[in-house]
Chain A
Amino acid sequence: MRLSPVQVLLRFFKAFFMLAFLVGCVESFEPGTEVFEDALVIESTITDEMGRQEVVLSRAFRFEEFVPEPEQGARVIVVDDSGNEFAFEETTVGRYTSNVDFAAEPGKSYQLLITTSSGDEYASEQVVAPARFPIGEISAEATEENGGGIDIFVDYEPSQAAKYFRYKYEETYKIIAPDWNSQMLAFEGPVLVLKARILDEKTCFNSDLSQNISINNPRLTTSSSVPRFSVRFIQKDNYIISHRYSILVKQLVLTEASYNYFEQLQEANEGDDVFSPSQPGFFRGNVFSVNKPEENVLGFFHVASMSSERLFFDYVDFYPEEALPPYVDKCFPFVPPLEPNEEEPSIGELMDANAIRYHSITATGKFAVVPRVCGDCTVLGSTEIPEFWEE
Chain B
Amino acid sequence: MKSLINTCFLFCVFWGVSQTSEGRITVTFENWTLKELASHIQETTDYHFFYVDNWLVQDTISGSFSNVPLENVLEEVLGNTEINYFLMDGNKVILTRGNTIYDTLPEGFFISSKMDSAIAEIAEVPDVLPIFNKNDVAPNREGDVPVKIGREKRGRSQQFATLEGFAFNADTNEPISDLTVLVQPTRKGTTTNANGYYSIEIPLGPHTIEVSALGIQGRQQKIILYGNGRLNFELEESFQMLDEVVLQGNSDRNINQTIGGAVQIEMKEIKKIPLVLGERDIFKVATTLPGISSAGEGATGYNVRGGRTDQNLILLDHAVIYNPTHFFGLFSAINPFTSDNVEVFKGNIPAEFGGRLSSVFDIRTKTANEKKLSGEASIGPVTGNLALEIPIAKDKASLLVGGRTTYSKWILRSLKEEELRNNQVAFFDVVARYNHKINQNNTLRLMGYYSDDAFNITRDSLYGYSNRAVSLEWAHKFNDKNSGELIFANSGYDFDIEFDVNSVNDFKLAYSINETLLKLKMKYLHNDAHNIDYGISGKLYNVKPGSIDPLNPETVIESVFIPDERGVETAIFLSDDITVNQKLSFNAGLRYSLFAALGESSQRIYENGGPRNENTLVETQIFDENEVIKTYGGLETRVSARYFVAPNTSLKLGYNSSFQYVHTLSNNTTVSPTDTWKLSDINIKPQRADQFALGLHKNINENDFELSLETYYKKFDNILDYKTGADLLLNETVETEVLQGKGKSYGVEFLAKKNNGKLNGWLGYTYSRSLIQFDGLLEEERINNGEFFPSNFDKPHDLSLVTNYKFSKRFSLSANFVYQTGRPVTYPVGNYVYEGQEYTFYTDRNKFRIPDYYRLDLSFNVEGNHKIKKFAHSFWNISIYNVLGRNNPYSVFFVTENGQIKAYKSSIFAIPIPTITYNFKF
- The residues of A with any CB-CB pair to B shorter than 8 Å are 2-6, 8-9, 12-13, 15-16, 18-20, 22-31, 33-39, 41, 43, 58-63, 65, 68, 211-213, 218-223, 227, 264-265, 267-272, 274-284, 293-294, 296, 298-299
**Given the complex of chains A and B, what is the CA–CA distance between A27 and B892 in angstroms?**
10
* Distance in Å: Cβ of B903 to nearest Cβ of chain A: 4
Once the chains bind, are B843 and A296 in contact (CB under 8 Å)? Answer: yes
Residue of A with least CB distance to B461 = A12
Q: List 13 A-B contacts (CB under 8 A).
A: A3-B505, A12-B463, A27-B904, A27-B905, A30-B903, A35-B847, A63-B828, A68-B831, A221-B556, A275-B329, A277-B893, A280-B842, A282-B843
Which of the 9-residue segments B130-138, B444-452, B477-485, B664-672 touches chain A?
Answer: B664-672
Once the chains bind, are B895 and A279 in contact (CB under 8 Å)? Answer: no
Knowing A41-B833, A283-B725 are in contact, say whether A276-B672 is a contact too (CB < 8 A): yes
* Distance in Å: Cβ of B850 to nearest Cβ of chain A: 10
Which of the 9-residue segments B179-187, B351-359, B417-425 touches chain A?
Answer: B417-425
Residue of B with least CB distance to A260 = B725
List A contacts of B722 (CB < 8 A).
Answer: 279
Once the chains bind, are B724 and A279 in contact (CB under 8 Å)? Answer: yes
* Distance in Å: Cβ of A93 to nearest Cβ of chain B: 14
Once the chains bind, are B423 and A19 in contact (CB under 8 Å)? Answer: yes
State whether the Cβ of B907 lies closer than 8 Å to any Cβ in chain A: yes
Knowing A31-B894, A222-B553 are in contact, say whether A24-B910 is a contact too (CB < 8 A): yes
Q: What is the interface size of chain B, counting residues whose CB is below 8 A from a CB of the partner?
A: 88
Select one of B837, B887, B906 contacting A274, CB under 8 A: B906
Once the chains bind, are A23 and B843 in contact (CB under 8 Å)? Answer: no
Once the chains bind, are A221 and B505 in contact (CB under 8 Å)? Answer: no
Knowing A24-B908, A41-B834, A277-B670 are in contact, say whether A12-B499 is a contact too (CB < 8 A): yes
Residue of B with least CB distance to A30 = B903
* Distance in Å: Cβ of B219 to nearest Cβ of chain A: 48
List B contacts of A276 (CB < 8 A).
Answer: 668-673
List A contacts of B837 (CB < 8 A).
Answer: 211-213, 265, 269
List B contacts of A29 (CB < 8 A).
Answer: 903-905
Residue of A with least CB distance to B504 = A227
* Distance in Å: Cβ of B36 to nearest Cβ of chain A: 52
* Distance in Å: Cβ of A26 to nearest Cβ of chain B: 4
**Given the complex of chains A and B, what is the CA–CA distance between A290 and B374 in angstroms?**
77
Once the chains bind, are A19 and B425 in contact (CB under 8 Å)? Answer: yes
Select one of A4, A12, A24, A63 contacting B457, CB under 8 A: A12
**Given the complex of chains A and B, what is the CA–CA distance between A189 and B504 in angstroms?**
70
Once the chains bind, are B834 and A62 in contact (CB under 8 Å)? Answer: no
Additional 15 contacts, C-beta under 8 A, given A5-B560, A35-B829, A63-B830:
A3-B505, A5-B729, A12-B461, A12-B463, A20-B906, A23-B913, A26-B907, A28-B904, A33-B830, A37-B843, A59-B832, A272-B891, A277-B890, A279-B845, A281-B725
List B contacts of A38 (CB < 8 A).
Answer: 830
State whether the Cβ of B674 lies closer than 8 Å to any Cβ in chain A: yes
Select one of A28, A43, A219, A267 contacting B834, CB under 8 A: A43
State whether the Cβ of B689 lies closer than 8 Å to any Cβ in chain A: no
State whether the Cβ of B779 lies closer than 8 Å to any Cβ in chain A: yes
B279-312 vs A, Cβ < 8 Å mask (1 yes, 0 no)? 0000000000000000000110000000000000
List A contacts of B560 (CB < 8 A).
Answer: 5
**Given the complex of chains A and B, what is the CA–CA distance between A13 and B667 in angstroms?**
15
Knowing A29-B903, A43-B834, A276-B672 are in contact, say whether A22-B420 is a contact too (CB < 8 A): yes
B454-480 vs A, Cβ < 8 Å mask (1 yes, 0 no)? 010110010100000000000000000
Select one of A5, A65, A293 contacting B779, CB under 8 A: A293
* Distance in Å: Cβ of B727 to nearest Cβ of chain A: 6
Once the chains bind, are B835 and A8 in contact (CB under 8 Å)? Answer: no
List B contacts of A219 (CB < 8 A).
Answer: 556, 558
List B contacts of A25 (CB < 8 A).
Answer: 887, 906-907, 910
Once the chains bind, are A284 and B835 in contact (CB under 8 Å)? Answer: no
B504-522 vs A, Cβ < 8 Å mask (1 yes, 0 no)? 1101010000000000000
Knowing A18-B420, A41-B833 are in contact, say whether A227-B894 is a contact too (CB < 8 A): no
Once the chains bind, are A5 and B730 in contact (CB under 8 Å)? Answer: yes
Once the chains bind, are A294 and B785 in contact (CB under 8 Å)? Answer: yes
Once the chains bind, are B832 and A68 in contact (CB under 8 Å)? Answer: yes
**Given the complex of chains A and B, what is the CA–CA distance between A152 and B524 in angstroms?**
79
List A contacts of B779 (CB < 8 A).
Answer: 293
Once the chains bind, are A13 and B673 in contact (CB under 8 Å)? Answer: yes
Knowing A13-B673, A35-B829 are in contact, say whether A18-B724 is a contact too (CB < 8 A): no
Select one of A60, A223, A294, A296 contacting B831, CB under 8 A: A60
Once the chains bind, are A9 and B833 in contact (CB under 8 Å)? Answer: no
List B contacts of A20 (CB < 8 A).
Answer: 298, 906, 908
Residue of B with least CB distance to A62 = B830
Once the chains bind, are B895 and A299 in contact (CB under 8 Å)? Answer: no
B878-922 vs A, Cβ < 8 Å mask (1 yes, 0 no)? 000000000100111111100101111111111101000000000
List B contacts of A23 (CB < 8 A).
Answer: 908-911, 913
Give the residue among A15, A60, A293 with the most B Cβ atoms within 10 A.
A60
B799-850 interface (Cβ within 8 A of A): 826-837, 839-843, 845, 847-848
List B contacts of A35 (CB < 8 A).
Answer: 829, 847
**Given the complex of chains A and B, what is the CA–CA distance between A65 and B730 in angstroms?**
41
Residue of A with least CB distance to B829 = A37
Knowing A60-B830, A272-B891, A280-B842 are in contact, say whether A222-B555 is a contact too (CB < 8 A): yes
Residue of A with least CB distance to B411 = A22
Knowing A6-B727, A34-B827, A280-B724 are in contact, say whether A28-B903 is a contact too (CB < 8 A): yes
**Given the complex of chains A and B, what is the CA–CA distance between A18 and B548 in angstroms?**
25
* Distance in Å: Cβ of B906 to nearest Cβ of chain A: 4
State whether the Cβ of B43 lies closer than 8 Å to any Cβ in chain A: no
State whether the Cβ of B557 lies closer than 8 Å to any Cβ in chain A: yes
List B contacts of A37 (CB < 8 A).
Answer: 829-830, 841, 843
List B contacts of A280 (CB < 8 A).
Answer: 724, 826, 828, 842, 893-894
Once the chains bind, are A271 and B556 in contact (CB under 8 Å)? Answer: no
Once the chains bind, are A281 and B419 in contact (CB under 8 Å)? Answer: no
**Given the complex of chains A and B, what is the CA–CA distance between A20 and B827 in angstroms?**
23
State whether the Cβ of B53 lies closer than 8 Å to any Cβ in chain A: no
Once the chains bind, are A5 and B509 in contact (CB under 8 Å)? Answer: yes
Residue of A with least CB distance to B499 = A8
* Distance in Å: Cβ of A227 to nearest Cβ of chain B: 6
**Given the complex of chains A and B, what is the CA–CA distance between A271 and B906 in angstroms?**
12
Once the chains bind, are B894 and A5 in contact (CB under 8 Å)? Answer: no
* Distance in Å: Cβ of A214 to nearest Cβ of chain B: 11
List A contacts of B902 (CB < 8 A).
Answer: 28
**Given the complex of chains A and B, what is the CA–CA distance between A283 and B780 in angstroms?**
10
**Given the complex of chains A and B, what is the CA–CA distance between A271 and B509 in angstroms?**
23
Once the chains bind, are B831 and A62 in contact (CB under 8 Å)? Answer: yes
List A contacts of B458 (CB < 8 A).
Answer: 15
**Given the complex of chains A and B, what is the CA–CA distance between A320 and B670 in angstroms?**
54
Select one of B507, B668, B845 contacting A277, CB under 8 A: B668
List A contacts of B669 (CB < 8 A).
Answer: 276-279
Once the chains bind, are B833 and A58 in contact (CB under 8 Å)? Answer: yes
**Given the complex of chains A and B, what is the CA–CA distance between A23 and B289 in angstroms?**
26
List A contacts of B457 (CB < 8 A).
Answer: 12, 15-16
State whether the Cβ of B86 lies closer than 8 Å to any Cβ in chain A: no
List A contacts of B632 (CB < 8 A).
Answer: none
Residue of A with least CB distance to B836 = A211
Once the chains bind, are A34 and B553 in contact (CB under 8 Å)? Answer: no
State whether the Cβ of B9 lies closer than 8 Å to any Cβ in chain A: no
Give the residue among A25, A30, A220 with the most B Cβ atoms within 10 A.
A25
* Distance in Å: Cβ of A116 to nearest Cβ of chain B: 16
Once the chains bind, are B841 and A296 in contact (CB under 8 Å)? Answer: yes
Once the chains bind, are A222 and B499 in contact (CB under 8 Å)? Answer: no
**Given the complex of chains A and B, what is the CA–CA distance between A61 and B828 in angstroms?**
11
List B contacts of A227 (CB < 8 A).
Answer: 504, 556
**Given the complex of chains A and B, what is the CA–CA distance between A5 and B511 in angstroms?**
14
Once the chains bind, are B419 and A18 in contact (CB under 8 Å)? Answer: yes
Once the chains bind, are A16 and B423 in contact (CB under 8 Å)? Answer: yes
Select one of B461, B730, B839, B906 contacting A6, CB under 8 A: B730
Once the chains bind, are B830 and A269 in contact (CB under 8 Å)? Answer: no
**Given the complex of chains A and B, what is the CA–CA distance between A14 and B836 in angstroms?**
26
Give the residue among B425, B557, B671 with the most A Cβ atoms within 10 A.
B557
